[in-house]
Every structure is written in C-alpha cells, then in structure tokens.
C-alpha cells in the first residue's frame, strides 16, 4: 500500500504547481464568447517574452511538442526539400524520422550519444552547399535522452558565416522556460516546445515560435496539411480565437504558470535550474558514476542521464525506485535502455526536491546492487546548495 507522495523525477511531464492546478479548476466556458480574447491574447504576448522574441509570432496547437514539430515542417517546407539534421539522442532521431516520413530529403550527421550538435560539421556542409539545396537545419536544443544541451547560437553563426539562407528549426521542448533560449538573438525561425515541461502544465499544448521569415515561407509551402495550417490559426488568433475547440482549462493554467515565471523572473528561473542541476551532478560524481554527457560544456540543466555500473541494470534501479520508494525516475531510451537512468530537474522544483531525488536514487541503486556509499550524493549536493545560497543574489549585488 502506497502512502504519502509519489515523487516525480522524470524530465516531463513535470510537477504542476498547486496554483496552476487551482487555476485550471474552472467550469467549461464558451470559446466563441466575445470576451474569450481577454484570456488568450495576453498568453500569446507573454509566450513571446519566454521565447525572447519581439518580431516572431506564437501559435498554440492542441497537441504535443511532436505535433508542433509536424506543424513547423509542413507549413514551411516542400516535398523533396533537403534538411540538415544531427542525430545525437532519441529525440533528434525521432525528428529526423518524422522529416523522412513527411517526404523530405534528410541529410543526417550521426553523432555519438553524449555529444551535442556538430557545429563544425554543419559549418562545412553549409559552406559547400553553394546552390543552397539545404532549406532548413534542425537542432535539438536539449536532448532529453542523454542530458545534453546543444549550441544553437553556434549553429546560427555557422549559417551566417556561410551566407546560407536555410531556416533554423529548434526543438526546445525540454529547454524553453528552463534553459537560456533567445529566439531573436539566435535567429531561430521555428522554435518548438510543449506545455508539460518548463511551463509546468499537463501535456496538451504544442507551442511554436515562428519568425517572419518562416511565416513568409508558409505562404508558398506546398506540403499537405489541414489541422496544422498556419494561416487558419493566425487568422483566428488575431482576435484571440482558434479554428477548432481549444483546451480552455490549459489556457487558464498557462496564465497562472506564466505569472509564476515572471514573478520569479525569467533570468532567475534559468539560474535556479542551473543551481539545482549542478547539485544533482555533484551528487552523481560523489557516487563515482558517469554521466552520458561527455563534457561539462554539454551538461543539461533540465535532466541528468546517469550511467549505472556495468553489473547493474538501470531498469532494476527504476523498478525499485517506483515500487519500493514511490519515486519515478526516467528510463534509458533506445540504445541506452538498461544502462542509464535519468533524473529530471525542471519546472516547479527546489533544493529539497533534488535532495529527495538523490537520496531515493541512492537507495534504489544500492537495492539494485550498486556499491555506493549511502548519503555521499546527498552530502555533495547539500554542500553545493549551501555554498550557492550563501552567495549574494543579483538583486542584492545591485542594491
């Protein structure tokens, strides 16, 4: 019999703050009512703030981040167009697979899992593409399967250095709202995210940031689409409405979630994620275990992927955590199955929650046969959090 709280330490869906949950507990309402825009119009503007774009448009499609991927592709590209993408984890691989299924010519750069976007390889291929056959470059900003963050800004520099007009598509599903992301500064044309990660909502909204260049491309793109048609969405969104029944309760929750983000401050949210993530990483190092990410410059601040010892099945660690200690850890995906478990640390999170994750992971690891010292990871993280909390905050330094 389970008692108490079941702890959620996966990289999404993430914990939903109580204030957000309460905000969604509203009666059904008329999505064609004259005042419906009072709820939705502000959401579009505030999502632009999260994406850090002044010139782009925001769209919200009922669905998931994967649906937003499909919307991005089908509205801006044509059958047979060539796209450049690197596969360095499960989600970048799935994006390449979708592009192939939709009839694109996919130029793939395979990279070892644990590394990030190969900026140098992209730069060479773009420089040699004199005829500009490549129409888009796809980058997974945060590869959730491996705990690796990619250098999106570096990919933009590679495009600019080659004088290449290809659009830049970014999967920001597990980064936007948690890791620094700058749509305008980095020249991102299509930014994709979902409601269930850094935005602290249930799954159900696929969110897109769309540059003016991408909107222009959508006017002549010939790929088949219906539900995901940009022009239908833009026409209705202008007054705060949607071309089909929207998930109104999620909009109320999104309003509360955005308010929480801006009350804390977006820069402070990003700094908090880094602080919490570093504590988890120090805990893992104290166990003597390795991360999948191969260099500190690649470390994700939203998820840590941890390699178990060779004689320990990561699936057993996850099973023990769930069945014995009421804790959900992320599984190893595809080629990492049985070799890796993941601790998600994004969204509505604090130091105490991260310390709980580490303590229950220690119990689960030892239960699965790992020879680690109980308390070592927790102590290492505690030392980091104590050190970090003693530093003056930005506001204190300014004062």
Tens-digit pLDDT profile for residues 327-379:
999 999 999 999 999 999 999 999 999 999 999 999 999 999 999 999 999 99
Whether the per-residue pLDDT at 2 is higher than 60: the answer is yes
Q: What is the pLDDT of residue 3?
A: 87
The predicted structure's pLDDT at residue 191 = 98
Domain spans in the chain, listed from the N-terminal domain onward: 7-13+265-398, 18-262
% of residues, the chain, pLDDT over 70: 98
pLDDT tens-digit map of 158-176: 999 999 999 999 999 999 9
Identify the band that residue 396 occupies on the pLDDT scale cut at 50, 70 and 90. Answer: very low
Compute the residue count for the chain: 399
For 58-106, how does the pLDDT look when each residue is reduced to its tens digit (9 = 90+)?
999 999 999 999 999 999 999 999 999 999 999 999 999 999 999 999 9
Confidence of residue 395 (pLDDT cuts 50, 70, 90): very low
183-188: which pairs have CB atoms within 8 A and are 24 or more residues apart?
183/51, 183/52, 183/53, 183/56, 183/209, 183/211, 184/52, 184/53, 184/54, 184/55, 184/56, 185/52, 185/153, 186/152, 186/153, 186/156, 187/156, 187/159, 187/160, 187/211, 188/152, 188/156
If we measure between CA atoms, which residue out of 84, 103, 163, 154 comes closest to residue 130?
Answer: 163
Rounded to whole angstroms, how far apart are CA atoms 261 and 268? Answer: 9
Containing 238, the helix (H) or strand (E) segment is: none
Query: pLDDT tens across 272-325, in order?
Result: 999 999 999 999 999 999 999 999 999 999 999 999 999 999 999 999 999 999
pLDDT at 52 over 60: yes
Provide long-range contacts, Cβ within 8 A and 24+ apart, for 22-29.
Answer: 22/256, 23/252, 23/253, 23/255, 23/256, 24/202, 24/249, 24/250, 24/252, 24/253, 24/256, 25/249, 26/248, 26/249, 26/252, 28/248, 29/248
Domain 18-262 class, CATH top level: alpha beta
Domain 7-13+265-398 has CATH 3.90.1150.10: yes
Rounded to two decimals, the pTM is 0.95
Provide the percentage of residues in the chain whose pLDDT is more than 90: 96
pLDDT at 128 over 60: yes
Residue 391's pLDDT band (cuts 50, 70, 90): confident
């Amino acid at each position: 019999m389970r008692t108490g709280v079941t702890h959620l330490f996966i990289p999404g869906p993430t914990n939903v703050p109580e204030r957000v949950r309460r905000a969604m507990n509203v009666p059904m309402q008329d999505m064609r009512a004259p005042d419906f825009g009072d709820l939705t119009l502000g959401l579009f503007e505030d999502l632009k703030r999260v994406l850090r774009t002044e010139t782009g448009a925001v769209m919200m499609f009922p669905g998931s981040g994967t649906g937003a991927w499909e919307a991005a592709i089908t509205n801006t590209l044509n059958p047979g167009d060539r796209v450049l993408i690197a596969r360095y984890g499960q989600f970048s691989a799935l994006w390449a697979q979708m592009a192939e299924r939709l009839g694109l010519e996919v130029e793939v750069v395979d990279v070892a899992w644990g590394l990030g976007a190969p900026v140098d390889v992209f730069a060479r291929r773009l420089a040699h593409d004199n005829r500009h056959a490549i129409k888009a470059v796809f980058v997974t900003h945060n590869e959730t399967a491996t705990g690796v963050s990619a250098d999106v800004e570096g990919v933009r520099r590679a495009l600019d250095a080659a004088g290449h007009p290809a659009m830049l598509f970014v999967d920001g599903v597990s980064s936007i709202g948690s890791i620094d992301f700058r749509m305008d500064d980095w020249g991102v044309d299509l930014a994709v995210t979902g409601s269930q990660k850094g935005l602290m909502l249930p799954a159900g909204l696929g969110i897109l940031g769309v540059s003016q260049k991408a909107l222009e491309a959508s006017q002549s793109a010939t790929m088949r689409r219906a539900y995901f048609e940009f022009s239908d969405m833009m026409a209705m969104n202008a007054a705060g409405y949607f071309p089909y029944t929207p998930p109104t309760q999620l909009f109320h929750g999104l309003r509360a979630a955005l308010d929480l983000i801006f009350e804390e401050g977006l820069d402070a949210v990003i700094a908090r994620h880094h602080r919490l993530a570093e504590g988890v990483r120090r805990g893992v190092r104290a166990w003597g275990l390795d991360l999948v990410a191969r260099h500190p410059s690649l470390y994700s601040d939203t998820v840590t992927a941890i390699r178990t010892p060779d004689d320990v099945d990561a699936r057993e660690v996850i099973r023990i955590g769930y069945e014995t200690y009421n804790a959900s850890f992320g599984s190893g995906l595809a080629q990492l199955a049985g070799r890796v478990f993941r601790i998600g640390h994004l969204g509505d999170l604090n130091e105490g929650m991260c310390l709980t994750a580490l303590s229950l992971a220690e119990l689960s690891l030892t239960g699965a046969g790992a020879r680690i010292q109980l308390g070592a990871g927790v102590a290492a993280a505690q030392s980091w959090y104590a050190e970090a909390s003693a530093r003056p905050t930005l506001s204190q330094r300014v004062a």
